[in-house]
Every structure is written in structure tokens, then in C-alpha cells.
Amino acid sequence: MDENTLWTAVQARDDNKDGHFYYAVTSTGVFCRPSCPSRRPHRDRVRFFSDSKAAQAAGFRPCLRCRPLEKPLEAVADFIHAHLDDRLTLQSLAGVAGLSPSHFQKRFTKEFGMSPAEYIRAHRAERLKSGLRDGSSVTDSMLDAGYGSTSRLYEHGAAALGMTPREYRAAGRGLRIRYSTFETSLGWTLAAATGRGLCRVAFGDGAEALERELQDEFANAFLVREDLPEYVPAIRSLADGERRASRLPLDVRGTAFQMRVWRELQSIPAGETRSYREVAAAIGNPAATRAVARACATNAVAVVVPCHRVVRTGGELGGYRWGVGRKEKLLASEHR
């Protein structure tokens, strides 16, 4: 880019250009990212550099406001993706970012909506799913996703899959699954059922994307589009916050712990909430707050198993697999 273009990016505080170049101010002796929030200098006092080392070699020191020597958090996320099979600690990731562990934890959580540990677990689970769907063995998929042992695989991996890795690898082989996509007050919705009951209820931004997700999860099942009149009206009522909606039959698979959590969630009355800690105590395992949160995050049947009724201690909404906005709307509807 020519200097006029670079200067335009600096004036606009364009964070998309962070990492692509740096600018230095001769009157202060500091260099900054393009997005630096400090007051803009006069153009004739600005020099441009392609990287931070060149700016330092020219005698400029890093700005204390935009901290140009820190790596953008997207770079840390890329590092995580490339090193999932390594032992990733908060200390090591903070070192990659050039931040203190506590500051890194706060910034990462704010940027990505989950802690670094949660981000790592989510992407290990996605890599595990991808390997199993592609036909790799359970052992190869486990190692490629960074689970160092079978005990860790079945503790964390099974929790993320909602079933054992071997069951997931079968991808619904031999199952006949009927499904329907329709609109509710929460947007596009997919319901899918086996002969035993609902195996999936999900929200999304479009019918096609929801169908692709279903096909990915149950690649070996026989999928049939139907109207599902025995399920769709009840799901619409639940999405509207209707307290009197009947309980629906389910065909969901999970670890013994997950099943205990999901049963407990179904006992929470509409219009009420529980904290993760309260749910953990209710199932007789008060120390398992984080495991309860993981079980909520892997619930495959939205609103039918009402994981949206679980919030953080203090009443903060926390996360939701189908978007915090939907969680907030559901709780408000049920409360009314």
C-alpha cells in the first residue's frame, strides 16, 4: 500500500490493518498499531514500517496504549488450531500473546465469548468429530485432536459428542431419522426424530444450514423429510415460552453424567432459572459446575431439554449453543 492509503487506515483506526503495518510518531518516539485509540498526530510527524522490528531498529519504542508488540488474539487462536495436539496452558498462550495470564484470559474471553480453556475444548471436539466422520479410527482421531489418553477422550470427548466416540463414528448407521425444518419465534428450527423420539432440535439462520448439520452428524442414517405433526406444534409452543407444552419423547445419547444433568434440566419449571452450581448440587455432585456447563453446551434438543434455564451465579445469562439472544428471548417469554 502507498503511504496515502496507510495514512487513511490510521485516521480510520482500521483494526483490519493491525499486523499489516505500524506507524511511528517522531515527536513522541513511539510506534503504534493502525487502530491505536490515541489522538492522531500531524501527518508530517508520521513514519510507516512494515513490521515492529523495523520500527524498533529505527529507535522507536512501543506505545503503551495499543501495545503493538502483543500479537492480535486471532493469531493466538491460529496458534491454538495449529497446536491442538500439544499441552496448551494459560501461561503458554499468554506468552504467545505477549500478555500476563490474567490480562490474556480477560481479553480472550471478551473477544471470543469463551475462556481459552473452553475454546480449546470446543476445537478439540470439532477435530475429533471431523476425524470420526471421515472414517479415521477412534485412536487416530483421539491423538489428532489432542486427547492424550483414552481416559481424557472418554471424559471430555464423549461429553462433547453426546455419545461414545465409537457410537459417533457409526454416524447413525441403520437409523431412519425423520426431520422437518420450519420457522418459530426464534427463527429457523429443525426437529429430527427416530422411532423412539426426538434426537435433535436446533435453531439456525436458515433451513439449508440446519439440514447440512444434521447430515454431518448422522451421515450414515436414512434421512426422510416429513412434517412431524406430533412434534412441531409442541416445539413451536416451547419456543414461544408456553408453560403448558407437553413433555416430548426423546432419543438422545450421552454419558451417565450428561443424562443426569439433562433430566435435572427438565425438572426446572418454565419461568425459573438455576445456576450451574445449583444444578451440580441437585445431581449430587456440587464440585462439577464446569462439567454441568459442558453438558448444557452439548444438549442436542433445544427447548425440549431446557438448558436455556441455566445461568451463571449472580444471574448473568452465560453462553448458549444457539445464541445468547435466543436464550434471553426464551427466558423473557417464559417469565411473562
For the cut 70, the answer to whether the pLDDT of residue 161 exceeds it is no
Query: What band does 165 get if pLDDT is binned at 50, 70 and 90?
Result: low
Chain mean pLDDT for the chain: 83
Catalytic residues, which ones? 32, 307
pLDDT digits (tens, 9 = 90+) for 107-139: 777 766 667 887 887 777 777 777 766 666 667
What's the pLDDT at 183?
94
User: Hey, do 70-170 and 256-335 end up sharing a CATH topology, with the first three levels equal?
Assistant: yes
pLDDT digits (tens, 9 = 90+) for 284-311: 888 788 888 888 988 999 999 999 999 9
Which three cell numbers mark 112? 471470543
Fold of 3-62: DNA Methylphosphotriester Repair Domain (3.40.10)
Over range 315-336, report the average pLDDT: 88
Domain ranges of the chain: 3-62, 70-170, 176-239, 256-335
**CATH superfamily placement of domain 70-170:** Homeodomain-like (1.10.10.60)
pLDDT digits (tens, 9 = 90+) for 64-98: 888 888 766 777 888 887 887 778 888 888 877 76
**Cβ–Cβ under 8 Å, residues 265 and 280:** no
Query: What band does 1 get if pLDDT is binned at 50, 70 and 90?
Result: low
Percent of the chain with pLDDT over 70: 83
Burial of 20 (0-12, 13-18, 19+ CB in 10 A): middle
Phi, psi of 299 (to 5 degrees): -60, 125
**278: number of Cβ within 10 Å:** 17
Fold of 256-335: Arc Repressor Mutant, subunit A (1.10.10)
- CA 180 to chain centroid, in Å, comes to 25
CB contact set of 153 (below 8 Å; sequence gap of 6+) = 128, 138, 142, 147, 165
pLDDT digits (tens, 9 = 90+) for 225-284: 999 999 999 999 999 888 655 678 888 877 677 888 999 999 998 889 999 999 999 988
Mean pLDDT is lowest, of 2-11, 131-140, 160-169, for 160-169
Strands 222-225 and 176-184: parallel
Which of the two residues, 102 and 302, has the higher pLDDT score? 302
**CATH superfamily placement of domain 176-239:** Methylated DNA-protein cysteine methyltransferase domain (3.30.160.70)
Which of the two residues, 198 and 151, has the higher pLDDT score? 198
Phi, psi of 7 (to 5 degrees): -65, -35
For the cut 70, the answer to whether the pLDDT of residue 170 exceeds it is no
Over range 146-169, report the average pLDDT: 57
